[in-house]
Structure formats: C-alpha cells, structure tokens
C-alpha cells in the first residue's frame, strides 16, 4: 500500500520541474493512474519518458504499486496547466 500523496511526491521530487496528477480510483492504495509533466521529457520518446517516471518511483514501483496507468507530457503539452 502506498498513498496518492507519496506517489505524487516521489514523482515530483525525482524529476526536474515535475508536476503529477495522481489518482487512486478504487482507494485501494495499489492501483494508480498518473499524468506527469517534466522538463526532462522534452525531446524523448514515450518509452524513455515512462522509464524516467518508473525510475523516480524506484522500489515502490516494484513492490507497493501494483499497477500504474501512466500518461506523460512535455511541459508545452501539459493539459493541467493553470
């Protein structure tokens, strides 16, 4: 089990100028959906962008997180910008 706040914190602290919107729809602490932006994503393939998020999540990705639906955006395509 891991909290939405913890997932969000790991992603945002692990990537430069990152922002993450994290959902745990069933409130089970295991199945998450996240949308993430970071300046690190610029110019990278989707595979590389997703790998950076997995890396930021580190051990949690291999243990406490059972599933993570992921969508990544370079900053200029971030749909949650104010």
Partner 1 sequence: MSDVNDRIKTLVTENNVVLFMKGNRFFPQCGFSARAVGMLSQLDAKFETVDVLSDPEVRQGIKGYSNWPTIPQLYINGEFLGGSDIMMEMYQSGELATALAGDAPAAAE
Nearest approach, Cβ of 64 to partner 1 (angstroms)? 12
Give 13 or 62: the residue with its C-beta nearer to partner 1: 62
Give 62 or 76: the residue with its C-beta nearer to partner 1: 62
Q: Is 76 helix (H, G, I), strand (E, B) or coil?
A: helix
Give 41 or 82: the residue with its C-beta nearer to partner 1: 41
Q: Which two tokens stand for residue 60?
A: 């949690």
Query: What sign does the CA torsion over 34, 75, 77, 40 have?
Result: negative
Nearest approach, Cβ of 46 to partner 1 (angstroms)? 5
């Amino acid at each position: 089990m891991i909290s939405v706040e913890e997932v969000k914190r790991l992603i945002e602290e692990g990537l430069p100028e990152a922002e993450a919107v994290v959902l745990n729809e069933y409130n089970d602490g295991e199945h998450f959906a996240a949308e993430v932006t970071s300046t690190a994503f610029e110019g990278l393939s989707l595979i590389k962008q997703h790998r950076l998020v997995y890396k930021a999540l580190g051990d949690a990705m291999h243990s406490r997180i059972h599933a993570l639906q992921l969508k990544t955006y370079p900053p200029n395509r971030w749909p949650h910008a104010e």
